[in-house]
Structure 1
Amino acid sequence: MVVAFAAQRGWTIYQLDVKSAFLNGELTEIVFVEQPSGYVQKGNRERQGKNMVIVSLYVDDLIVSGNDELMIIEFRESMKHEFGMTDLGKMRYFLGLEVLQRPDGIFINQSKYASELLRRFGMDKSNYVHNPMALGVKLNKDEDGVKVDKTYYKQLVGSLMYLTATRPDMMFVVSLASRYMENPTELHLKVVKRALRYLKGTSGFGIFYKREDDDGLIAYTDSDYAGNVEDRKSTSGYVFLLSSGAISWSSNKQPVVSLSTTESEFIAAASCACQAM
């Protein structure tokens, strides 16, 4: 979200890293896992006039952006003065995501991780396919099928789950394959390996957030009807776009059985509306 927001306005994103975050002894201060109630007024941002600095924190990694370079420099210097920090400069790599900041926008992907994943599972020499899942394939528990190593299957699916951080095009097949991690068979493994073959030809894919003036948030949502062949539940999906790039997406089986296509669409729309709010 921060990357899309910064790209839209042409801001540069910087990165800071806390040195030895977990080796600084016992804490005497109160630490809030969530921001304490009332710390910031609802709907307000911390600003100086029209200038703004946005700081995102994940454990011991910080990314900083804004429309005032002087304020950003002052913040970075104050953090280095107060804590043991490494100033990594312009963000290029963050939590496994590769970040390319360009004048026309920001591109994020996981090509290095994808290549390592393919090598790890011996799929780096495989022939690639043009879609992550064959058209019309329906998975089921396949109780009479040949069982495969459960641990190996979980490692495959788990590795692909992390890849979906920048690959909404693989969200559906990964979510579907994850339903069968308890008792996987060769049928399920075949679907996962096809996803890896698709990755082989698309490892450089990612999300590009354009620099543009449009502030609009666009959402798309859809569902199938009774797509699961075992419990007849439908699957909902949505994707949100900002700066022409996806910032949030999901593919999940609905919690109840829909009695019509209209009902399944309403359930999907309600889930999308909650995410929008």
Structure 2
Amino acid sequence: MTILLVYVNDMIVTGDDMQEITSLQKQLTVVFDIKVLGQLKYFLRIEVAYSRGNLLLSQRKHIADLLKYTGMSNYKLACTPIEAKHCIRASKESDQVDSGSYQRLVRKLIYLSHTRPDIAYSVGVLSQYLHDPREVHHQAAQRVLAYLKGTIGMGILFKKGDSLTVGIYTDADYAGLVDDRCSSTGSCCLIGGNLVTW
């Protein structure tokens, strides 16, 4: 089997049949001017590291650039991305912040959650206030950055194995959202012990 992943003018060719991969690359060179760069190391700000057949996807450089961009490089670390039983809500009492810079920051955090499912919930909370961000929301976003600073090398590990066992886990918080008393749910799916969706 051969898989071709294309994003604009970048592509990844992978699979378990080297002959088929080589054949596809030859066919692509007939139509396109391509360069074969060898084993995948970096794609769309996602770093790929290999170890004993295992694969680690991380965004260490993207996080470092984000910390530098936001001036958070020298801030204290946070042990969690959001406070347990947080009370972040729409607040007219808190000062307004620049919505453009807040939205850019949250967009960058959303992209980071592709390899960092540990921040997905907190980024989801921050995303609820894109239309009217306040200082309390900005402080919560800074906490996520402080957490990322302390966990910069984390990512998603895909372990090589023979099992294709599917495991699905879910959790729910009934009426736990502060603003509208809606419930929030979370789920993750593992195949062969490797996290594939969340």
SS state at 2:94 partner: coil
The Cα offsets for residues 50-99 of structure 1, whole Å up to 9 and x where unpaired, read as: xx222222232222222222221222122113321111111111111101
Identity %: 35
Task: Work out the CA distance in 2 between the residues paired with 1:147 and 1:71.
Answer: 56
Q: What is the one-letter code of the residue matched to 2:14?
A: S
105-114 vs 84-93, which moves further: 84-93
Q: State the match for 2:181 in structure 1.
A: 232
1:219–1:241: 8 Å Cα contact kept in structure 2? yes
Task: Work out the CA distance in 2 between the residues paired with 1:53 and 1:193.
Answer: 42
SS state at 2:35 partner: strand
Distance verdict in 2 for CA 1:233–1:223, change over 3 Å: same
Q: State the match for 1:209 in structure 2.
A: 158
Q: State the match for 2:72 in structure 1.
A: 123
Task: Work out the CA distance in 2 between the residues paired with 1:82 and 1:153.
Answer: 43
Deviation, structure 1 residue 230: 2.3
2:165–2:193: 8 Å Cα contact kept in structure 1? no
* TM-score using structure 2 length: 0.94
Distance verdict in 2 for CA 1:168–1:189, change over 3 Å: same
Deviation, structure 1 residue 165: 0.8
* TM-score using structure 1 length: 0.68
Q: State the match for 2:88 in structure 1.
A: 139
Pick aligned residue for 2:36 from 75, 82, 87: 87
Q: State the match for 1:157 in structure 2.
A: 106
1:241–1:248: 8 Å Cα contact kept in structure 2? yes
Task: Work out the CA distance in 2 between the residues paired with 1:188 and 1:100.
Answer: 34
Q: What is the one-letter code of the residue matched to 2:89?
A: N
Gaps of 5+ in 2: none
Task: Work out the CA distance in 1 between the residues paired with 2:138 and 2:65.
Answer: 19
SS state at 1:54 partner: strand
Q: State the match for 2:194 in structure 1.
A: 245
Gaps of 5+ in 1: 1-51, 250-277
CA RMSD of aligned residues (A): 1.3
Aligned length, in residue pairs = 198
Q: What is the one-letter code of the residue matched to 1:190?
A: Q
User: Is 1:193 paired with 2:157?
Assistant: no
Question: Which is greater in Rg?
Answer: 1
Pick aligned residue for 2:21 from 60, 72, 84: 72
Task: Work out the CA distance in 2 between the residues paired with 1:183 and 1:209.
Answer: 38
SS state at 2:145 partner: helix
Task: Work out the CA distance in 1 between the residues paired with 2:104 and 2:17.
Answer: 44
Deviation, structure 1 residue 125: 0.9
